[in-house]
Amino acid sequence: MKLYEKPAHILHNMLEKKEITAVELAKDLLARIDAVERDIGAYLTITRDEALAAAETVDQKIAAGEKIAFLEGIPGAIKDNICTKGIRTTCASKILEHFVPPYDATVMQKIYKESPVILGKLNMDEFAMGGSTEHSAYHPTHNPWDLARVPGGSSGGSAAAVASGTAIWALGSDTGGSIRQPASFCGVVGLKPTYGRVSRYGLIAYASSLDQIGTITRDVTDCAHILNVIARHDAMDSTSSKADVPDFTQSLRAKVEGLRIGLPKEYFVKGIDAEVERVVRAAIKKYEEMGAEVVDISLPHTDYAISTYYIIAPAEAATNLERYDGVSYGERVDGEDLVQMMTNTRDEKFGEEVKRRILIGNYALSAGYYDAYYLKALKVRTLIQQDYIEAFQKVDVIMAPTAPTPAFRIGEMAEDPLQMYLQDVCTVPLNLAGLPGISIPCGKSEGGLPIGLQIIGKPLDEATLIRTAYTYEQAQGGVNEMAKLGGND
Ligand code: GLN
């Protein structure tokens, strides 16, 4: 296995034992970027010099005999909607093309305490609106398993980087599936923690009641370690949870005997690709063989999740994006007067999908329509939450596909927004209910594309998700296959 193919926990041990140096490791990843990034397009900004400087500091520390933190010297990268002090943060939008945050997001403060090697900022759908990374204002990202296909989105850069070996780990954000769906499309592990588990301070807002930062990693072990780093109450985020944070590495135990797995009938209906269903059901069967108990459950309001989400998310987005007016925020485009300047700014600098969401959101919030759309959506959101509360009285976790299909072709859905929205059918209910969910690779389609199993947990019970996911991974040999690409493979 090449260095860039290894998970962080293995590389951490190698650094500790002085089998490799942090500089060697950083150079290996940078060489991998040179070799394959042209084909993948996972990055928007590459911080080569800073990465090498950070690696040198780590090596000095190791040479001095100091103990190193888990992420110390391990190359990773960050979705470009998470503020990084001094490093351009564009949200893949032209409106923030030259925005260099004057502060770090809380997650970055926590990550930097570990002294990792940050390789750069990752591509995404503009303002995290999308499921294919085709809505980036800069360039699309390609799926490492098949370059003609999308990596998913909106954290498509994060998933493609980890899957192609141009980052060992990455942070993403998930508002309606944006960590889990790209993880599923790219054959990596993606965790969306419980809403409030990880601070949103410094995450550029899309839909504030749904947004959550999480991890994209090679395996479940790395996921547990990085969640330990980023999960904590934060006074800077009023929605941040005050609940105790366990040591998630304690859940890296292969044991599912007696675990009750709920199988929601509404997640295995028309629209789910037959191959996806077959592979996911086979994975669930494997759990049964390992001693888990599978229970049929019903989440009756699942059918309404997409329409509810596509009212609430755009409504919040329309409000959040008001600040980009060329005065408070956003790259200004001049006009004859103030109104014209603001109109020009928003017209020229926002992409089509962002404008579509702003229009939908403002429509749903406008007087006369508010009750019919926004208020009604909030009520249905409560019903969806209650479905889960009831289901979790009978089961410990719920399993379903992460996405209804494997990765689709670039351009295949670009002209059909509704088709693209329907892709989120299995992921948005969790965001509406605030629940944690993890996607792990559970097999491949006949065409060789990865398929993800989604495991849904009770609020704040990431520990059970990690144990459940880890058990499957161990049963598969403990190593998730990497995409095969050219370059220095
Ligand atoms: N695909 C969904 C959307 O476009 C989810 C995006 C996300 O989770 N950020 O809204």
The tokens for 209 are 């009641």
Q: Which residue has the higher pLDDT, 348 or 414?
A: 348
The tokens for 231 are 């999960």
What secondary structure does DSSP assign to 383-409, as a single string?
Answer: HHHHHHHHHTTT-SEEEEESSSSSPPB
Q: What is the pLDDT of residues 317-344, one digit of tens each?
A: 999 999 999 999 999 999 999 999 999 9
The span from the CA of 89 to the CA of 358, in Å, is: 21
Domain containing residue 200: 3-260+472-482
- pLDDT at position 411 is 96
Q: What is the pLDDT of residues 7-30, one digit of tens each?
A: 999 999 999 999 999 999 999 999
Contact 365, 371 (CB under 8 A): no
Residue 131 CA to ligand 1 center (angstroms) comes to 6
The model's confidence at residue 378, banded by pLDDT at 50, 70 and 90, is very high
Which atom of ligand 1 is found nearest the CA of 420? 1
Q: Which of 123, 135, 154, 413 to mutate to test the pocket of ligand 1 (most atoms within 8 A of CB)?
A: 154
Instruction: Show Cβ contacts of residue 30 under 8 Å, excluding neighbours closer than 6 positions.
Output: 48, 51, 52, 119
Closest CA to 244 of 236, 230, 233, 228: 233
Residue 362 has pLDDT above 70, yes or no: yes
Residue 236 CA to ligand 1 center (angstroms) comes to 24
Residue 486 has pLDDT above 70, yes or no: no
What secondary structure does DSSP assign to 354-386, as a single string?
Answer: HHHHHHHHHHHHSTTTTIIIIIHHHHHHHHHHH
Residue 126 CA to ligand 1 center (angstroms) comes to 10
The region, left, alpha or beta by phi > 0 then psi within -120 to 50, assigned to residue 91 is left
Which atom of ligand 1 is found nearest the CA of 178? 8
- Tell the residue nearest (CA) to atom 10 of ligand 1: 129
The tokens for 105 are 């997001």
Instruction: Identify whether 437 is part of a domain.
Output: no
Is the backbone peptide bond immediately before 154 cis, with ω within 30 degrees of 0? yes
Instruction: Identify whether 432 is part of a domain.
Output: no
- Rounded percentage of the chain residues whose pLDDT exceeds 90: 97
Q: Averaged over 96-123, what is the pLDDT?
A: 98
Q: What is the pLDDT of residues 399-457, one digit of tens each?
A: 999 999 999 999 999 789 998 999 999 999 999 999 999 999 999 999 999 999 999 99
The tokens for 224 are 């547990």
- pLDDT at position 489 is 47
Residue 297 CA to ligand 1 center (angstroms) comes to 26
Question: Tell me, what CATH number does 227's domain have?
Answer: 3.90.1300.10
Q: HSE-up of 467 (CA within 13 Å, CB side)?
A: 20
Which atom of ligand 1 is found nearest the CA of 130? 4
- pLDDT at position 304 is 97
What secondary structure does DSSP assign to 15-31, as a single string?
Answer: HHTTSS-HHHHHHHHHH
- Tell the residue nearest (CA) to atom 5 of ligand 1: 176
Which atom of ligand 1 is found nearest the CA of 177? 8
Instruction: Identify whether 98 is part of a domain.
Output: yes
Report residues whose beta carbon is within 6 angstroms of any ligand 1 atom.
128-131, 154, 174-178, 206, 313, 424
Residue 321 CA to ligand 1 center (angstroms) comes to 15
Residue 337 CA to ligand 1 center (angstroms) comes to 35
Mean pLDDT of the chain: 97
- Tell the residue nearest (CA) to atom 4 of ligand 1: 130
Which atom of ligand 1 is found nearest the CA of 179? 8
Q: Which of 129, 132, 402 to mutate to test the pocket of ligand 1 (most atoms within 8 A of CB)?
A: 129
Residue 212 CA to ligand 1 center (angstroms) comes to 11
Which atom of ligand 1 is found nearest the CA of 353? 4
**What's the CA dihedral at 429, 434, 435, 440 to 10 degrees?**
70
Q: What is the pLDDT of residues 230-251, one digit of tens each?
A: 999 999 999 999 999 999 999 9
Instruction: Identify whether 180 is part of a domain.
Output: yes
What secondary structure does DSSP assign to 34-77, as a single string?
Answer: HHHHHHH--EEEE-HHHHHHHHHHHHHHHHTT----TTTT-EEE
Which atom of ligand 1 is found nearest the CA of 129? 4
- Orientation angle between helical segments 22-40 and 8-16, nearest 10 degrees: 150
Instruction: Identify whether 329 is part of a domain.
Output: no
Residue 484 has pLDDT above 90, yes or no: no
Residue 160 CA to ligand 1 center (angstroms) comes to 17
The model's confidence at residue 488, banded by pLDDT at 50, 70 and 90, is very low
Q: Which of 424, 430, 431, 454 to mutate to test the pocket of ligand 1 (most atoms within 8 A of CB)?
A: 424
Q: Which of 122, 125, 357, 432 to mutate to test the pocket of ligand 1 (most atoms within 8 A of CB)?
A: 125
- pLDDT at position 487 is 47
Does the reported pTM lie above 0.95? yes
Report the catalytic residues. Answer: 79, 154, 178
Burial call 308-329: b when 16+ CB within 10 Å, e when fewer: bbbbbbbbbbbbbbeebbbeeb
Instruction: Identify whether 330 is part of a domain.
Output: no
Total domains, the chain: 1
Residue 157 has pLDDT above 60, yes or no: yes
Residue 132 CA to ligand 1 center (angstroms) comes to 9
- pLDDT at position 415 is 83
Residue 375 has pLDDT above 70, yes or no: yes
Contact 287, 308 (CB under 8 A): no
Question: Residue ranges of the alpha helices (H) in 190-349?
Answer: 220-230, 274-289, 305-320, 338-349
- pLDDT at position 117 is 98
Contact 43, 120 (CB under 8 A): yes
Instruction: Identify whether 286 is part of a domain.
Output: no
Of the listed ranges 267-271, 367-371, 386-390, the least confidently predicted one is 267-271
- pLDDT at position 465 is 98
